[in-house]
Amino acid sequence: METQNEPSYLKTLNTPQKQAVLTTEGPLLILAGAGAGKTKTITHRILHIIKQGNRPSSILAITFTNKSASEMRERVRKLLEEDRALNQPVSIDETPFVSTFHSLGVRMIKENSEFFNLPRHFGIFDKGDSKSAIKAAMENLGIDPKTNEPAKFMHFISNQKGGGITFEEFNHKEPKGYFEETVAKVWREYEHALKTEKALDFDDLLLKTLKLLQNPDILERYQNRWKYIHIDEYQDTNKVQYDIAKLLAGKHQNIAVVGDIDQSIYSWRGADFKNIMRFENDYKDATTLLLEQNYRSTKTILTVANTIIAKNVMRKEKNLFTENEDGDQISLYIAGDEKDEANFIARTAKMLVSQGVSPSEIAVLYRANFQSRVIEEACIKKELAYELIGTKFFERKEVREVLSYIKGALNPESLSDLKRIINVPARGIGKVTMLKIFEGGEHELTGAVKLKIEKWRSLLQEIKVKSETVNPSEVVKFVIKHSGLEIMYMDDKIEGPERLENIRELVTIATGYDGYEIGEGIEKFLEHTALSSDQDEVDKKIGVKLMTIHASKGLEFDYIFIGGLEQGQFPSERSSKAASKEDSEEERRLFYVALTRARKKIHLAYTQMRTIYGSRQINVPSEFIADIGEEFIQYENGAPDDHVDWSKGLLQLDF
């Protein structure tokens, strides 16, 4: 495809990447393998569309995490700045809209807030807020949260919303048994709580956006705004996201979707990889391209990964290849138990660090969260710096308190925020007083209590004024100082220093939004804090990363450890008990994702015995290990006895 006068930005692309960049009109399906340069392809495609004479603001690009959206946004900005033809004699003064689906939803709902009778500063319930509201709804209905887990109701409601079903629609259908009848009651109370607080939950950000786009006039406005649409990680879309993309692309049909069926691992949260399988049926004139050249991993890693995923049937055929070196064999450690396994991981990681490897280039991946505890203990004993990915910075108690002061000031009906801060720091406000305030009886207060509440309300008003007149970082500083939080944590000699460090870090984060117009910056800042994901925490500290495989999606490291490779653990017991073909294949995709995170070397481990739920369990190796050719395996502590029959399944023993 090379021509003599080919632009320089095309010369850095391989042939399929270049085809994807040049195919700007009509529907385009890009099946991009792990490490195949999909972000580079999308960003260069955006540059090419602009160089064809299209306005940057006519381009929409959607991905799934703030981290990947931020990276894509930065790379697009850099490409536009560096293109001399675009920036001389005048520079580009507008940019494409690059965001996550949820951020897109926030923007569209704010632009049409009157459609839903919402204020511009509507609240956003995170998972903790939703769980608390559902628990409160259950208690109001006399349903015991101890015997009926709130998370189960939350998950069910979330799946319904992700499938495009509103409460009204669910409530009008015939319930299937007692559970659905109970869900309908809890859901009604939950929706009432959201409405009272003028708030939406994460699923509403998508569902409400879909409802907006089902209005013909609103749909036409957005179709005319965004004529070129890019959707990354298309295999991870749920029904609502799929419908949103289809509606937006309905007029111009210039939709480019990028994805990899082999990396579809989120069915439990409603993702449907069949969306990418049906793309060519949805768009009859679609062009399909394969990106199979991997720029990340060694040949050994890719050969093993290809072998693992080839056993899946529900996929589109593709075979990753690389021009990188062969690289090391896959290391396999056979541990006596979980402590032995954890010690091996910590010991080997420590050795890598002593050899000059940066701790942040080492990741330990596991199938289930409970596996992290013993690994953490081993890291502590070995004095190995580590970071546990999964505890979100913005969900820490002290951080939520600062944010609730700002959110409560901007949205006085956000009861969950006001409840969080009314007595933090302690103001001597009792439960009876709080009940009166939140049930509309504040006017009945008298004396000293009334003065305390008036002083608190006055503080919130000052914060509101600051939010409308100064930069976000100054707002955060004002809250920390004038709320009393700073003094409170200074007085706490045990946890105080770390909590102070965290709320001061919030100021640093807020400075990133100081460049926006006054008022807009605080909105963007609060949106970022509400929609952050586990991956946004990855670069915060220098240390070996400990995380689930699900959390590792989209990341890459030089050295990867994968523990717990036992039948029933990984693949999980759910798929081992011959559940569905789809469950079984998703477990295999999960292992494929874990393998393809590595650039240089993979260490695998399994335990011959593991304690689960207080019982000692004798294990057999995961079927995934058996799928790896012997020529690719390096045993860390000697090969197992060839005469041992590992095919008998799991044996449960109680000690």
- The string of pLDDT tens digits covering residues 56-89 is 999 999 998 888 999 999 999 999 988 878 765 5
Tokens of 426: 């302690």
Q: Which residue has the higher pLDDT, 435 or 554?
A: 554
Q: For the chain, how big is the Rg over CA atoms in Å?
A: 27
Q: Is the pLDDT of residue 640 over 70?
A: no
Distance of CA 524 to the CA centre of its chain: 18
536 or 621, which is more confident: 621
When mean pLDDT is compared across 219-223, 355-359, 615-619, the lowest value belongs to: 615-619
The most distant pair of C-alpha atoms in the chain lies apart, rounded to whole Å, by 85
Predicted confidence band of residue 537 (pLDDT cuts 50, 70, 90): low
Question: Tokens 């010991």 sit at which residue?
Answer: 347
pLDDT at position 87: 67
Structure token pair of residue 599: 């650039």
Looking up tokens 């050295």, which residue turns up? 559
Q: How far apart are CA 385 and CA 540, in angstroms?
A: 13
Catalytic annotation on 39? yes
CA pair distance 171, 187, nearest whole angstrom: 9
- The answer to whether the CB of 479 falls within 8 A of the CB of 485 is yes
Give mean pLDDT, residues 335-343: 95
- 6 CB burial (10 A radius; 0-12, 13-18, 19+): exposed
pLDDT tier at 646 (50, 70, 90 boundaries)?
very low
Nearest one of 541, 607, 498, 558 to 384, comparing CA atoms: 541
Catalytic, out of 67, 73, 477, 597? 597
Helices 472-482 and 397-410, packing angle to 10 deg: 110
With bands split at pLDDT 50, 70 and 90, how would you rate the model's confidence at 431? Answer: confident
Catalytic-role residue among 232, 417, 527, 585: 232
Active-site annotation holder among 17, 18, 19, 39: 39
pLDDT score at 383 = 93
For CA atoms 472, 473, 478, 481, the dihedral sign is positive
137: helix, coil or strand?
Answer: helix
The structure's pTM equals 0.84
Task: Return the minimum-mean-pLDDT range out of 100-114, 161-175, 295-309, 418-432.
Answer: 418-432
**Separation of CA 294 from chain center:** 24
Q: What's the CA gap between 86 and 305, in Å, rounded?
A: 42
Q: Count CA atoms within 13 Å of residue 385 on its CB side.
A: 11
> Is 597 among the catalytic positions?
yes
The one-letter amino acid code at 278 reads R
**Selected catalytic residue, list 263, 298, 529, 607:** 263
Average pLDDT of the segment spanning 563-585: 80
In this predicted model, what pLDDT tens digit does every residue of 286-311 receive, in sequence order? 999 999 999 999 999 999 999 999 99
Q: What is the pLDDT of residue 395?
A: 80
Nearest alpha carbon to residue 420 among 407, 436, 404: 404
CA distance 332 to 639: 9
Length of the chain: 655
Provide the pairing of β-strand 615-618 with 609-612.
antiparallel
Q: Where are the beta strands (DSSP E) in 551-627?
A: 557-562, 598-607, 609-612, 615-618
Does 579 have pLDDT greater than 70? Answer: no
Q: What burial letters (b/e) apply to 486-502, b meaning 16+ CB within 10 Å?
A: bebbeeeeeebeebbeb
Per-residue pLDDT at 641: 54
Distance between CA atoms of residues 538 and 546, nearest Å: 10
Question: Residue 40 pLDDT > 90, yes or no?
Answer: yes
* Sign of the CA dihedral with 564 first, then 566, 571, and 577 last: negative
Higher-pLDDT residue of 265 and 642 is: 265
Residue 613 has pLDDT above 90, yes or no: no
For residue 647, what pLDDT band results from cuts at 50, 70 and 90? very low
**Residue 9 backbone dihedrals phi, psi, to 5 degrees:** -70, -20
End-to-end CA distance of the chain: 67
Summarize pLDDT for 98-138 with one digit per residue, the tens. Answer: 999 999 999 999 999 999 999 988 999 988 899 999 999 99
> Tens of pLDDT along 208-258?
999 999 999 999 999 999 999 999 999 999 999 999 999 999 999 999 999
Instruction: Determine the Cα–Cα distance for residues 414 and 401; give it in Å rounded to an integer.
Output: 13
Q: Which of 17, 18, 38, 239 is catalytic?
A: 38
d(CA 343, CA 604): 13
Catalytic annotation on 38?
A: yes
Separation of alpha carbons 405 and 141, rounded Å: 30
Within a 10 A sphere around the Cβ of 30, how many other Cβ atoms? 27
Q: What is the mean pLDDT of residues 567-573?
A: 89
Cα separation, 476 vs 483, whole angstroms = 10
Distance CA 591, CA 263 (A): 9
| Average pLDDT of the segment spanning 359-385 | 93
Quote the CA–CA distance of 524 and 514 in Å, as a whole number: 10
Number of Cβ atoms within 10 Å of the Cβ of 455: 10
Q: Is there a catalytic annotation at residue 232?
A: yes
Helix (H) or strand (E) holding 333: strand 330-335
| Rounded Cα–Cα distance for residues 93 and 57 (Å) | 10
Q: What is the arithmetic mean of pLDDT over 270-286?
A: 94
Buried b (16+ CB within 10 A) or exposed e, 43-71: bbbbbbbbeeebebebbbbbbbbbbbbbb
Residue 205 is which amino acid? Answer: L
Residue 36 near residue 61, CB atoms below 8 Å: no
Q: Could you say which of 233, 243, 536, 587 is catalytic?
A: 233
Q: Are 232 and 161 in contact (CB under 8 A)?
A: no
How confident is the model at residue 539, as a pLDDT?
A: 57
Closest C-alpha among 575, 549, 585, 550 to residue 315: 585
Write the CA distances from 426 to 401, 481, 588, integer angstroms.
Answer: 13, 15, 52
Kindly state the average pLDDT of the residues 265-271: 89
pLDDT at 88: 56
Question: Distance of CA 421 to CAs 410, 417, 457, 568, Å?
Answer: 14, 7, 11, 45
What Å distances lie between residue 145 and 31, 336, 442, CA to CA? 45, 39, 30
List the alpha helices (DSSP H) in 98-201. 101-111, 127-140, 150-162, 167-172, 177-196
C-alpha angle 571-577-583 in degrees, rounded to nearest 5: 55
Q: Where in 424-514 does DSSP place strands (E)?
A: none
Q: Is 278 exposed, middle or buried (0-12, 13-18, 19+ CB in 10 A)?
A: exposed
Type and span of the H or E element at 123:
strand 123-125
β-strand partners of 635 = 332
- Indicate left, alpha or beta for 35 from its phi (over 0: left) and psi (-120 to 50: alpha): left
Mean pLDDT of 586-602: 97
